Amino acid sequence: MENDVSTKEITEGRDETIYKLLYVNRLRHVLIVGSENKLFRLYHLIHGYESVSNKCGINGEHFSIVFQKWSENKYDVTTRKYWYRIINFYSQTEYESIQNFYELLNEFLIETTGKNLEENAKIE
């Protein structure tokens, strides 16, 4: 069954990015991933965002792929485990894994874009 909504209607006037989504999630995770702020939920949210973005031609981002390689280099591991599992392995608690993710994300963004998460999200 084909959707009657065109890509143009979905993308017109939009300026959402994966970085804006992550920034908002950091501030108010209950609105995005629910009351249980778990890294695997955030991973799946990012994966879903990228899947829809790629299908609709929005942004064409491949954050997960690049962040995966960067995380493996950061932790000096080569694995078939997703980046969220790597971060969880090196964290004591789920809360710590979320904190570690956002610290790593800022480090990653500064290295790759020269801007932190807030600057990449272009929050005004």
**Token pair in block for residue 100:** 């570690």
Kindly state whether residue 76 falls inside one of the protein's structural domains. yes
Kindly state whether residue 6 falls inside one of the protein's structural domains. no
Give pTM, 2 decimals.
Answer: 0.74
Instruction: Domain count for the chain, please give it.
Output: 1
Residue 9 pLDDT > 80: no
Which domain does 94 fall in, by range?
A: 15-121
DSSP 59: T
Side-chain half-sphere exposure of 89, counting CA atoms within 13 A: 11
Residue 94 pLDDT > 80: yes
